[in-house]
Amino acid sequence: MPMPATAIEAMILEAMPDATITIEDLAGDGDHYRAIIRSSVFSGKSRVQQHQLVYAALKGKMGGELHALALDTAPK
């Protein structure tokens, strides 16, 4: 079951309200996305930790409902 980009954006924003988020639907199928996220919560964190914060925000949907979400994260 694909997940709409707006739902992904809303979940990330809920966890990191200051985030600037751009989501691209890579294949146009609502199933393969790339998210570019800039947020102050990433400051001082390794890339692994930054991505873990995003996965935590998505509450288990990543790897399940959400099949492919490429991440580009950096501090704001």
Partner 1 sequence: MSNAAHDFIADTIAKNDVVLFMKGNARMPQCGFSGTVVKILDHVGVDFADVNVLADMSVREGIKEFSNWPTIPQLYVKGEFVGGCDIIREMFETGELKEFLAEKGLLQDA
What is the binding site for partner 1 (CB under 8 A)? 47-48, 51-52, 55, 60, 62-64, 68, 70-72
Unique residue bearing structure tokens 């600037």: 20
Shortest Cβ distance from residue 13 to partner 1 (Å)?
20
Q: Which is nearer to partner 1, 5 or 34 (CB)?
A: 34
Per-residue CA distances from 8 to 31, 44, 46, 69 (Å):
11, 24, 22, 10
37 bridge partner residues: 21, 73
Shortest Cβ distance from residue 22 to partner 1 (Å)?
15
Shortest Cβ distance from residue 67 to partner 1 (Å)?
9
Q: Which is nearer to partner 1, 43 or 49 (CB)?
A: 49
Q: Which is nearer to partner 1, 59 or 76 (CB)?
A: 59
Per-residue CA distances from 7 to 11, 20, 23, 65 (Å):
6, 15, 11, 12
